[in-house]
Amino acid sequence: MSHLKGLIRGEFERLMRYRIIQVGFMVSVLWLLVMFLIGREEARAFIPLFIFMDVALMTVMLIGAGLFYERQENTLKSMMTSPATMAEIIFSKLISAVYIAIQSAVFLGLFAYFFFDASVNFAILIPFVLIIALAHAMIGYAFSVWMKDFPTLLAATMMYMIIFGFPTIFYSLDILGEGLETVLMFSPTHASMLMIEFSFGEEVSTTLIVIGVIYLLVVAFVLGRYVVFPKYIEKAIKE
Partner 1 sequence: METVFKVNNLSYMYKKNRVQAVKDISFEVKKGEIFGILGPSGAGKSTTQKVLIKLLKDYQGSIEYLGRNLESYDNSFYEQVGVGFELPVHFSKLSAMENMKFFARLYRKNADIDGLMKAVGLFEDKDRLVGEYSKGMKMRLNFVRAMLNEPEILFLDEATNGLDPKNARIIKDLVRDFKNKGGTVILSTHLMNDVEELCDRIAFISGGEIREISTPRELKIRYGKRILTVEYRLNGETKERVFDLDGIGKNEAFLDIVQNHEIETMHSGETSLDDIFIQVTGERIDEPS
Question: Segment near partner 1 (CB under 8 A), from 132-140, 160-168, 196-204, 231-239?
Answer: 231-239
User: Any contact of residue 230 with partner 1 (CB under 8 A)?
Assistant: no
Provide the terminal-to-terminal Cα distance of the chain, rounded to the nearest Å.
25
Number of residues that bind partner 1 (CB under 8 A): 25
Q: Taking CB under 8 A as the criterion, which residues in 60-99 touch partner 1?
A: 69, 73-75, 77-85
Query: Which of these ranges, 14-22, 99-107, 149-157, 191-199, lies near partner 1 under the rule CB under 8 A?
Result: 14-22
Write out the E strands in the chain. none
CA pseudo-torsion sign 37, 50, 126, 91 = negative
Pairwise CA distance, residues 120 & 124, whole Å: 9
Nearest to partner 1 of 5, 225 (CB atom): 5
CB of 64 to partner 1, least distance (A): 17
SS3 143: helix
For partner 1, the closer of residues 78 and 182 by Cβ is 78
Please name which of 48, 54, 56, 57 lies closest in space to residue 113, comparing C-alpha atoms.
Answer: 48
Going by C-alpha positions, the residue among 1, 23, 216 that lies closest to residue 130 is: 216
Q: According to the binding rule CB under 8 A, does residue 202 interact with partner 1?
A: no
Write down the least CB distance from residue 144 to partner 1, Å.
17
**Rounded to a whole number, what is the largest CA-CA distance in the chain?**
54
Q: Which residues bind partner 1 (CB under 8 A)?
A: 3, 6-7, 9-10, 13-14, 17-18, 69, 73-75, 77-85, 236-237, 239
